[in-house]
Structure 1
Amino acid sequence: MAMFFRRLAKSAPITFSNAFRGSQSSSFGVIAATFSGGVLYYFTSSPNLAHLDSINEESQKKVALKSDKWLEFKLHETANVSHNTKLYRFSFDSDAELGLDIASCILTRAPTGQNDEGKTKYVVRPYTPISDPDAKGYFDLMIKLYPEGKMSQHFAKLKPGDVVEVKGPIEKLRYTPNMKKHIGMIAGGSGITPMLQIVEAILKNPDDKTQVSLVYANVSPDDILLKQKLDILATSHPNFKVFYTVDNPSKDWRGGVGYVSKDVVSKGLPGPGDDSLILVCGPPGMMQHISGGKAKDYSQGELSGVLKELGYTEEMVYKF
């Protein structure tokens, strides 16, 4: 397990391949579990560890998360992914699954002091696990460590044995197999994580015939996260293609250069239509350029940018 974890972390920056490449899937990371409509029951028997009861009598599955209560998960180990990104593996009951639908995220929180009334203040941030959907006893987070990021700097200081408070799941897009014939994805930086969830779910399901095309933008080749893993998927599954573009290419770079343009979208992603869906996730500047950001209330907001100019409608685009 530890060797695989480090191998996963090191499968990031590797000098690129060709632009769009066909793909298939080795199962890399998503956290997926089916919520079968029944009420979920949980308990915590210790203030320091997450323990769980069965989801329901029919499935006899156990889940580690609780949507209305913060639970502590223990850090098992860490591994470097790139110069500013790390993998964090958290452990829990070895008979349980984390319990996320596709596509969902979790909330994490960390104390930041006290307010005027002496109550603890917290910083709260969402993250998308990238571990296997059926994994029991652990989940993995891939986190970019920003110098001024309150939560990411909290993660940077964690040591094995420390705990992080987690709550969830927080549902994003409810994915179902074959819901669209072709899904296009535009990701920037750590915005790749929800895309991994969906790609993994599609490629591991032989009955899901969805075509997936991913455009992944980064500052430099060294910033491409889990590139080797994506390349393996892209050479082993014919229904998955990936194209990389960077702002600052190296001398031997053979992918795209610059921002995601209309030309890149037109050539690499499905065109506007009822049978296609474009997913977008990345830093605010990229979101504004591609699709416009979300509304202040975190709803999808108005569609703008490159995608609107190319004729996509709000129903054809989902912003993570």
Structure 2
Amino acid sequence: MSLFLRRIAKAAPIAFSNAFRGESKSNFNCFRVPVGAIAAITGGISYYYYFSSTNLVHLEAINEENSPKVALNPDKWIEFKLHETANVSHNTKLFRFTFDPSAKLGLDIASCVITRAPIGQDDEGKPKYVIRPYTPISDPDAKGYFDLLIKLYPEGIMSQYFAKLKRGDVVEVKGPIEKLRYTPNMKKHIGMIAGGSGITPMLQLIEAVLKNPDDSSQVSLLYANVSPDDILLKQKIDTLAASHPNFKVFYTVDNPSNNWRGGEGFVSKDMVLKGLPRPGDDTLILVCGPPGMMKHVSGDKAKDRSQGELSGILKDLGYTEEMVYKF
């Protein structure tokens, strides 16, 4: 590991604690239903968008009186420079982007950013882009950098764009895009069901709760993956659970190894009953993962990306739409 990687691993242990252990030797297997469809970092789907002009805006920090500098702009595409990458698993990488070291990213809990990459021109000669949402997993209070955890799919247009980036290359980012407005102690019990790279918005919220001594929320995570090798940042998650009594985690995998001691198979009613808070006015269940898992657990979002109707095992167990949020 380079001196730089050791230094940033020490400076940002939550994002990097398990990111420099090399690639897993296991072969990549696509998710199977219900955990088995392609996972989206925020539960969204890549889409194309057309702009009449590129109108690139270089990195800037908003410096208003009595306001902290922030690097993001919800109305402009900002160029962020790639500083370093690290392997997290056999098909996932962590990308660190940098900006003004005196500024914060400007990310709220819980929110994501959107990225875009050029993919040529349309029939009218106008620039064409692929746009993709991602949830940064770095501390929102960190200055001068942010980290994206990205699963690299062989046929993924945006993920392959990231895979080819070299140090010093730039990526256009806009945001933040608010998903769920979280306030400390908004719910006494917070349950989370994540599949694959759907762990990223959960990590963002977990860290916000655990680093706040005035937040007494009890957080429970049910994390599903194809195999033990696919579990992202497991060492960090386990460390957080071991050091914070208000956070617990349970893992389940489709293809367990011989020495696997966690759950086996898809997320089940029994897993939810044993690992997550029961339905109630002071309970919030968060769900993020591949489409198959979403359909099985809670039902996917509506076509307009609103929350949509609650279905699946959460509805069967008595949770209501007011108790569930789909990322």
Once the two structures are superposed, what CA deviation does each residue of 1:4-59 show, in whole Å capped at 9, x if it has no partner? 34644137999xxxxxxxxxxxxxxxxxxxxxxxxxxxxxxx967412121x3123
Does the aligned pair in 1 maintain the 2:17–2:236 contact within 8 Å?
no
Structure 2 match to 1:9 = 19
Counterparts of 1:10 and 1:273 in 2: how far apart (Å)? 41
Structure 2 match to 1:36 = none
Does the aligned pair in 1 maintain the 2:191–2:276 contact within 8 Å?
yes
Equivalent of residue 112 in structure 1, options 119, 141, 147: 119
Counterparts of 1:158 and 1:203 in 2: how far apart (Å)? 33
Counterparts of 2:84 and 2:129 in 1: how far apart (Å)? 24
Counterparts of 2:78 and 2:66 in 1: how far apart (Å)? 25
Equivalent of residue 57 in structure 1, options 31, 46, 65: 65
1:145-164 equivalent positions in 2, closer than 5 A: 145-164=152-171
Amino acid at match of 2:5: A
Counterparts of 1:257 and 1:268 in 2: how far apart (Å)? 14
Does the aligned pair in 1 maintain the 2:86–2:93 contact within 8 Å?
yes
Change (3 A) 1:130 1:11: farther
Amino acid at match of 1:52: A
SS in 1 for 2:222: strand
Equivalent of residue 227 in structure 1, options 234, 240, 245: 234
Does the aligned pair in 2 maintain the 1:280–1:287 contact within 8 Å?
yes
Structure 1 match to 2:134 = 127
Q: Over the residues paired in the alignment, what is the CA RMSD in angstroms? A: 1.6
Once the two structures are superposed, what CA deviation does each residue of 1:60-92 show, in whole Å capped at 9, x if it has no partner? x10000001111100001000000000000010
Change (3 A) 1:177 1:9: same
Change (3 A) 1:12 1:300: farther
Does the aligned pair in 2 maintain the 1:108–1:164 contact within 8 Å?
yes
1:281-296 equivalent positions in 2, closer than 5 A: 281-296=288-303
Amino acid at match of 2:88: V
Structure 1 match to 2:174 = 167
Q: Percent identity?
A: 77
TM-score by length of 2: 0.85
**Gap regions ≥5 residues in structure 2:** 10-15, 25-54
SS in 1 for 2:183: coil
Once the two structures are superposed, what CA deviation does each residue of 1:150-198 show, in whole Å capped at 9, x if it has no partner? 1001001001010000000000000000000000000000000000011
Counterparts of 1:47 and 1:255 in 2: how far apart (Å)? 47
Does the aligned pair in 2 maintain the 1:81–1:87 contact within 8 Å?
yes
Once the two structures are superposed, what CA deviation does each residue of 1:85-116 show, in whole Å capped at 9, x if it has no partner? 00000010011000011000000000111101
SS in 2 for 1:10: coil
SS in 1 for 2:19: helix
SS in 1 for 2:113: strand
Does the aligned pair in 2 maintain the 1:13–1:223 contact within 8 Å?
no
Does the aligned pair in 1 maintain the 2:17–2:233 contact within 8 Å?
no
**Gap regions ≥5 residues in structure 1:** 15-45
Does the aligned pair in 2 maintain the 1:278–1:316 contact within 8 Å?
yes
> What's the CA shift for 1:132?
1.3
Structure 1 match to 2:311 = 304
Structure 1 match to 2:286 = 279
> What's the CA shift for 1:133?
1.8
